[in-house]
Structure 1
């Protein structure tokens, strides 16, 4: 009787194990099919985001060049404008690097563990620093010596604000991606 009970337990464990393996295999196959089905949309989205990264790099480069030309013409605020231009140029490379890392993250990794929270945090930090630089530039616009330089500085401030909005949109889109264990990953990334 006891041997029969042991055999029954072993058989039950074997059947439960088979069911669990089958369920897990089905889950993995479903996730793979889901990821494969979304590849076309993902590719289009990645191409658009890559284009956005390059556009950002180009816009910031133009912004920096314009600020440097204003700095060369301006006497009193020229050095401050030059410093802001250099800082923004460095910030742009950090921003582009973080955006590239976020975009190149594996879709499966994102599905299971969530977005790249480290680089999203770096991007948030760069946004804050750029907002501070924009505030400094707004104050410097008032001290510009010529109307042409004032207009140029105001134009460049507007351009950079538009770029910031694009980055903010990128950030929000990547923060809100669905993941199975993202909530768990967030607990340890803070």
Structure 2
């Protein structure tokens, strides 16, 4: 090899080595950056997943937190159920679905089906309201002596178990209606609130059944046989699945029962009890409490 070309060869070889080393460093840095980004994404996704899990748990808890009867105020489960059912019926009847400006047959059919499902829930609630409230009343007012000899009121407990089936069907109808209307651009917040109430009332039924169907009795087996009542535990797996379906629809629209709402009737009575001077056209003042009118001397 020529001594003059030796430095050139060495320079070329050195250049290749340096270029290779630089490439390896660049690849290593790129891999590290990718790994860091991947780790950040995983951490972010895990954090988001944890937050969603917490939110779901919160919603599930609120859905199961039905309004309890305050016996010190004379409240009963039957009374509260009547009130909640009446609230659902009234609010569902007020739900309005916008008409399509541009007629789209698919949307029209979908909305009509949703309206039909809502109407069916209203009719079913109206037809069962008094019957179910009466069953709750009968079960909870059963005397101790009667329970000891004949066991719990299996007839009305059976009615409440049947209502659980109806309630589940109504919940699923509202879920379908909400999903359909939401997909077609409708506001479904009012429907979601009624769905939450139906789910909470379901918890009331389950609690009443579980509380009252157990206990020792001398001849309860006879009453159970005559009423064809099966004292089977409620399937919690199915219940959890139903709750998850509701949570997926309701999301963050539930307001828990922790907020105390002032009774509008009591407020009105209190307002009437106040003495408020009110000027009349003749220059008189009226005492609202007594109804007396006095004329002011100018």
Match of 1:172 among 210, 214, 225: 210
Q: Partner residue of 2:85? A: 60
Match of 1:125 among 130, 140, 162: 162
Q: Given the superposition, is the C-alpha separation of residues 132 and 172 from structure 1 closer, same or farther in structure 2, using an over 3 Å criterion? A: same
Please report how far the alpha carbon of residue 183 of structure 1 lies from its aligned counterpart in structure 2 after TM superposition: 2.5
Q: Which TM-score applies when normalising by structure 1?
A: 0.67
Q: Partner residue of 2:76? A: 51
Please report how far the alpha carbon of residue 99 of structure 1 lies from its aligned counterpart in structure 2 after TM superposition: 1.0
Q: Which TM-score applies when normalising by structure 2?
A: 0.44
- Cα contact 2:77–2:137 (8 A) shared by 1: no
Q: Given the superposition, is the C-alpha separation of residues 50 and 122 from structure 1 closer, same or farther in structure 2, using an over 3 Å criterion? A: farther
Q: Partner residue of 1:138? A: 175
Please report how far the alpha carbon of residue 122 of structure 1 lies from its aligned counterpart in structure 2 after TM superposition: 0.9
- Cα contact 1:46–1:103 (8 A) shared by 2: no
Separation (CA, whole Å) in 1 of partners of 2:70 and 2:146: 16
By percentage of residues, which structure has more helix? 1
Q: For structure 2, which runs of at least 5 residues remain unmatched after alignment?
A: 1-68, 99-110, 229-298
Number of residue pairs the alignment of both structures matches: 144
Separation (CA, whole Å) in 1 of partners of 2:218 and 2:85: 36
Alignment of 1:146-157 (within 5 A): 146-148=185-187, 150-157=188-195
Separation (CA, whole Å) in 2 of partners of 1:111 and 1:92: 29
Q: Partner residue of 2:198? A: 160
